[in-house]
Amino acid sequence: MGLLDKKYHDSNIIIVSLESALNWARKSSLWYEQFGLACCAIEMMATAASHYDFDRFGIIPRSSPRQADVMIVAGTVTMKMASRIERLYEQMSEPRYVISMGSCSNSGGPYWEHGYHVLKGVDKVIPVDVYVPGCPPRPEALLEGFLTLQKKIENESIIESKPSDKITEEADRHETT
């Protein structure tokens, strides 16, 4: 329906300046979905706590995915959890972003070889925007991940399409079959 659906194919001054304003708003108010999976979640909590303070960047937790903008996959995603992660991601309202925090969600991490029940990288089920390495990443590293994401959002264009369209179609197919 709207601008973010790329319905308006002209990039005049208004759209461009509107675009930068919108990008600014999106990047300055990244509300993350409050859930943690494993050890990394503890560091995520530490990042939200007083010492590092997510709120400085305007990042606050929301426990309902409907109101969240970014999903921090903090920890090991297991096979049992994979479909839930996918559902939670889908239930977020767009525009949405995913930060993969820590080795486990990047690629299975320490469990990539023998972990029969571990999903080898969360990007197998949902599209990831930023990978933050570490096991667990230091809180600063997570903050830096957010800064990286902000950079990405800054350069986003309303006219261009986002990669998440693909998964959306996929999910559609998923449900109907």
* Minimum distance from residue 36 beta carbon to ligand SF4 (Å): 9
Least separation in angstroms between residue 154's CB and other proteins is 13
Residue span 65-104 as binding mask against other proteins, x where in contact by CB under 8 A, dash where not: xxx-x-----xx-xxxxxxxxxxx-xx-xxx-------x-
> Residue numbers of the site for ligand SF4 (CB under 6 A)?
38-40, 75-76, 102-104, 109-110, 135-136
Of 128, 113, 134, the C-alpha closest to 40 is 134
> How many other C-beta atoms can be found within 10 angstroms of the C-beta atom of residue 29?
12
Using the rule CB under 8 A, is 44 a contact of other proteins?
no
The nearer residue to ligand SF4, 21 or 135, going by C-beta atoms, is 135
Among the listed residues 11, 16, 17, 135, the single contact to other proteins using CB under 8 A: 135
Which residues, at least 6 apart from 33, have a Cβ–Cβ distance to it below 8 Å? 61, 62, 63, 65, 68, 70, 71, 72, 88, 92
Q: Which residue type occupies 18?
A: L
Interface with other proteins, residue 24, by CB under 8 A: yes
Bond before 139 cis per omega within 30 degrees = no
Q: What CA–CA distance (Å, rounded) separates 150 from 131?
A: 13
Asked if 38 interacts with other proteins (CB under 8 A), we say yes
Instruction: Indicate whether 106 belongs to the interface with other proteins (CB under 8 A).
Output: yes
